[in-house]
Amino acid sequence: MAFTLPELGYAYDALEPHIDARTMEIHHTKHHNGYTNKLNAAIEGTENEGKSIEDILHHLNMDNTAVRNNGGGYYNHNLFWELLNPNDRGRLSGPLLDAVNEAFGSKDGMVEAFSKAAATRFGSGWAWLCAFPGGKVEICSTPNQDNPYMPGVGCGGYPIMCLDVWEHAYYLNYQNRRPDYIDAFFKVVNWNVVEAKYDAIK
């Protein structure tokens, strides 16, 4: 069964003014849709057909650039849209807050480290907050559509929060001001979703 472009679960303008509706619409219907279609084309008739996206990425041959770029693009945006859900955003708390305090001293320390990873990623890529079985959390960044599920990429943990720092994610509204877009992300990220991801891994 082929992969399908997921619904956002909220309106394109739901994140205004932090992330604008036009950016969301183009990002979802053009960029993410493109990764989805190209991923399906790349796995059709291969050993990857019928596998979950996590399984494909975890056992990826990194020389397979079509699946690496489009499978990464498919997975990364799925997670990103989930994290931006404006309904019941909650606040960072519970076991994840404990792990964040342990690793970064405070929530602010984690936000600062994540923002630095996002701001200093040269060119296109992603910043990640990842969890490890046992509960430790770590931050990393990756180029292009790579992600820490892939062999030898990033910190090797399980992604629980991510930020797309490709220019297509922010250029219409923020132009070259990536740091302002990173600040905006923390006004819209859904902590309840991040915590649920963490609880499933720790």
For 10-57, give the DSSP string: S-TTTTTTTS-HHHHHHIIIIIIHHHHHHHHHHHTTSTTTTS-HHHHH
CB of 32 to Mn ion, least distance (A): 7
Nearest to 137 by CA among 160, 117, 118, 171: 160
Q: Give the chain's length.
A: 202
**Could you give the count of Cα atoms lying within 13 Å of 114 in the half-sphere of its Cβ?**
27
* Binding window for Mn ion (CB under 5 A); candidates: 3-11, 29-37, 109-117, 174-182: 29-37
Min dist CB 49 to Mn ion, Å, is 25
C-beta of 20 vs 164, nearer to Mn ion: 164
Please tell me whether residue 82 adopts helix, strand or coil conformation. Answer: helix
The reply on whether position 146 binds Mn ion by CB under 5 A is no
Q: Which residue is nearest to Mn ion (CB)?
A: 164
Q: Does 164 bind Mn ion (CB under 5 A)?
A: yes
Choices 10-18, 56-64, 138-146, 157-165 (CB under 5 A): range interacting with Mn ion: 157-165
Q: Counting contacts by CB under 5 A, is residue 195 touching Mn ion? A: no
Residue count, binding to Mn ion (CB under 5 A): 4
Q: Judge whether 126 and 76 are in contact, CB under 8 Å.
A: yes
Cβ at position 5, least distance to Mn ion in Å: 13
Positions that interact with Mn ion (CB under 5 A) = 31, 164, 166, 169
